[in-house]
Structure 1
Amino acid sequence: MSGDANGYDVTHITVLQGREAIRKRPGMYVGSTREPGLHQAVFEVVGRAVNEVLASRAGSVDVTLTPGCVSVADDGPGVPVEAAGDEDGPGLEALLTHMHPRARPGRRTTKALSLPGIGPCVTNALSSRLTAEVRRDGTRWVQEYTRGLAVAPPTAEGPASGSGTTITFRPDPGIFHTVECSFAVLAGRFRELAFLNPDLDISLTEARSPDAPRSVRFRFPGGVRDFVAFLDAPTGTPVHPDVIAVAWEDPRMAGRAELALRWSTSREERIRSFANSRPTPVGGTHAAGFRDGLVAAVNAYACEHRLLTASDPGLGADRIGEGLTAVVSVKLDHPEFEGATHGALGNPAVRPCVEETVREHLGRWLEEHLEQAAAVTDRIIGGPQQQPSGNRPSR
């Protein structure tokens, strides 16, 4: 049917951009207007501060929850302020009103708290009020926003003590079903980030009720090794005391990988995978490479020590994974995710790189730790009573 016939033409099309588009369709930018979307609005602001720490421009991030309000502070150099004549790239107002004003080549050091193409401007647009404070070059600058619109230009409010940026915002109750964040949800994600990035120091403070204040700080120098120990703690007795861990740089995948694993008496398999600190619940090439290497290493060891029989010629991934806790993390210059939700990593080069290192490192660990290796293979194959004693490695 033609436009003339039904009276519909280009004059009926409304193009929404920027703040107006975000407020009209908030779910497109933070996922929903319920609690998960509220938390994503927090992550958009926290992500910028986390990247300052991981780029060695700041030392810590502090997040504080007050009634209906969230404050995110870092001790970096402070966002450039246009009103001060800063020329160090786009500044405060661009950060809070435009998507990705400070894009940088390569994404290995960009930690995925934010959704792709978003940033603090989305949080600003979805807040009834936002205050930005910048401490930079000895001056304290303040700028206020209402529903994404600047009330006035940044104003110099006197001398600054130290440097950094603090963004305090009130999620708009006219948009979100709730404006009170879950302390547990935020703490869980911040803890996860600290495990994956040993240089990160991040705190979360609950100040919404004077009767129940609490604060937690997350920093884990042991990285993914500490992560596995944490995940293992409530599940069962470890089969072997060592957490097996390895980290390496590989130019073939233009990135770095870290992994840690340990078997326990639990029957559950817990393999957590991440790409650039973003959870990949569907897995992807890094998780597939880990499984490939795991199966190859365990089967090679079992064959070498004659632990397999004609009726049990090989061990599959499901059998080897029973009771296994593992964390697989890759940080790539150019990650390629599958699907709109980025639930799986797609970089083809990652799979053989991870497989090769897991096979070699785990195989070497098994040969160098025979007593622990025997405990692992007993756990997988079914116990020493099923194996002729002469076929087991010496202890």
Structure 2
Amino acid sequence: MSTEGMKYDAAHIKVLEGREVVRKRPGMYVGSTGERGLYHLVLEVVDRAVSEVLAGRAGSADVTLTSDGGVRVADDGAGSGGGNVPELEGELTSLHVGSGPIGRRATVIAPFRLGLFVANALSSRLTAEVWGEGTRWVKEYARGVEVELPDTVGPLTGGVGLATGSGTTISFWPDTEIFETTWCSFPVLAERFRQLAFLNRGLAISLTDERPADGPRKVLFQFPDGVRDFVAALDAEAGACPRADVFGFEREDERMAGTMEVALLWGYSSGARIRGFANSLATHEGGTHLDGFRDGVVAAVTEFARERGLPTASDLDARANLIVEDLTAVVSVKLDQPEYLGATRTLLGNTDVRVCVAEAVREHLGNWFAERPERGERVIDRVVRAGRRD
């Protein structure tokens, strides 16, 4: 092929900046223009409200699916106090502002964590409302471009704000020019918010759907026992009878620069259900936290058998896979620097985590067996019987 007449220089390079690049390549920022991308867009906005609650700056996060196809996300935080308005305006108008590094206190709701700017650029309309200290501030945008409205500063009017008299509300309408569908499923969002409440004990989050013809529906998620409640719920969903003997513990370990929260329940339903999370993000492919959990469980059971002088102790090493059979468990770690293998963040790779989780599980579960030897004997009996079936 002749290259005569074909020239390429700086004049041919088109630099896309800000909202233009987001709207031109939306899949790079929210994953897709289908349902997956739509939910990611919603979670980018919810991320901010939940972070306010977990940081102790707000008491609750409230998400509403409005009757006109919009989504409203509100928190009852400090609102316009403490210089929050300039910070919020920066998040809405600058890429990456507000996304910040992931730390052990950070809950990963939207995996890409690019902030409100992406939601603003990919919404046909977005309104930000902040109130507090007796004043109200409002900004409106159309596809990321500010609509010329005067800032509202003055006394609060009836019906504005939450019970605390301060807060922030982001209302947005996903752009039909970008997304294949703008219909958000109530069950899909409810399940994600329920999961977040299980994994973050201090979180209260509600979801309201104003779209049904027979009237709004609302759910509130808040679980005082954290992952213990999560395990009990998983076991109940499998058809087991409610039980009160869920084992669990929390531990901080500086060697892995983070914390762990573990809960488990044995033998009341068929098949293992072991769920792993890193900074509240589900690790569907597993990782070092789940490897360490299994190591610790096997070590605790085999050590208990040997200490009790059980004749089956020598056989347990060969039956390690049966020890975690019929086990329902949740393993949640929150790390300063989570290392994920792959862009999807579904496989945790921190090497120190495996050793730390294994040691903690072996110690805490071993103490639990020592205090309740009948539980340990019951587990070993199940393993032996399962081995005979094989």
TM superposition score normalised by structure 2: 0.90
Residues of 2 paired with 1:89 and 1:163: CA distance? Answer: 12
| Residue identity matched to 2:262 | L
Residues of 2 paired with 1:310 and 1:190: CA distance? Answer: 43
| Residue identity matched to 1:182 | S
Task: Check whether the contact 2:80–2:166 (CA below 8 A) recurs between aligned residues.
Answer: no
Residues of 2 paired with 1:311 and 1:371: CA distance? Answer: 20
Residues of 2 paired with 1:312 and 1:238: CA distance? Answer: 31
Q: Which residue of 1 aligns with 2:76?
A: 75
Structure-to-structure mapping, 1:101-250, within 5 angstroms: 101-102=97-98, 107-152=103-148, 155-160=151-156, 162-237=165-240, 241-250=244-253
Task: Check whether the contact 1:130–1:145 (CA below 8 A) recurs between aligned residues.
Answer: yes
What is the CA RMSD across the aligned residues, in angstroms? Answer: 2.5
Aligned-residue offset at 1:309: 4.4
Residues of 1 paired with 2:256 and 2:2: CA distance? Answer: 52
Q: Which residue of 2 aligns with 1:303?
A: 306
Aligned-residue offset at 1:315: 4.5
Q: Which residue of 1 aligns with 2:46?
A: 46
Matched, 1:379 2:375: no
Residues of 2 paired with 1:334 and 1:183: CA distance? Answer: 33
Deviates further, 305-314 or 178-187? 305-314
Partner SS for 1:205: strand
Aligned-residue offset at 1:122: 0.8
Residues of 2 paired with 1:215 and 1:2: CA distance? Answer: 66
Task: Check whether the contact 1:78–1:135 (CA below 8 A) recurs between aligned residues.
Answer: yes
The number of equivalent residue pairs is 381
| Residue identity matched to 2:302 | N
Aligned-residue offset at 1:185: 0.7
Q: Which residue of 2 aligns with 1:321?
A: 324
Q: Which residue of 2 aligns with 1:365?
A: 368
Residues of 2 paired with 1:2 and 1:334: CA distance? Answer: 52
Task: Check whether the contact 2:306–2:313 (CA below 8 A) recurs between aligned residues.
Answer: no
Aligned-residue offset at 1:6: 3.3
| Residue identity matched to 2:301 | V
Task: Check whether the contact 1:127–1:147 (CA below 8 A) recurs between aligned residues.
Answer: yes
Residues of 1 paired with 2:387 and 2:340: CA distance? Answer: 43
Q: Give identity over the alignment, percent.
A: 57
Change (3 A) 1:294 1:88: same
Residues of 2 paired with 1:223 and 1:297: CA distance? Answer: 23
Residues of 1 paired with 2:338 and 2:212: CA distance? Answer: 41
Aligned-residue offset at 1:176: 0.8
Q: Which residue of 2 aligns with 1:14?
A: 14
Partner SS for 1:379: helix
Matched, 1:256 2:268: no
Task: Check whether the contact 2:98–2:115 (CA below 8 A) recurs between aligned residues.
Answer: no
Task: Check whether the contact 2:41–2:119 (CA below 8 A) recurs between aligned residues.
Answer: yes
Aligned-residue offset at 1:93: 2.1
Residues of 2 paired with 1:256 and 1:289: CA distance? Answer: 14
Deviates further, 52-61 or 133-142? 133-142
Task: Check whether the contact 2:369–2:376 (CA below 8 A) recurs between aligned residues.
Answer: yes
Q: Which residue of 2 aligns with 1:278?
A: 281
Structure-to-structure mapping, 1:329-368, within 5 angstroms: 329-368=332-371
Task: Check whether the contact 1:90–1:101 (CA below 8 A) recurs between aligned residues.
Answer: no
Q: How far does the alpha carbon of each residue in 1:128-172 deviate from its partner, in whole angstroms, 9 at most, with x for none?
A: 001110013321111110001111366115323511100000000
Residues of 1 paired with 2:28 and 2:42: CA distance? Answer: 16
Structure 2: gaps (5+ residues) = none
Task: Check whether the contact 2:279–2:333 (CA below 8 A) recurs between aligned residues.
Answer: yes
Change (3 A) 1:4 1:150: farther
Aligned-residue offset at 1:300: 1.5
Partner SS for 2:269: coil
Aligned-residue offset at 1:374: 2.3
Partner SS for 1:382: helix
Change (3 A) 1:210 1:149: same
Partner SS for 2:315: coil
| Residue identity matched to 2:54 | L
Aligned-residue offset at 1:363: 1.3
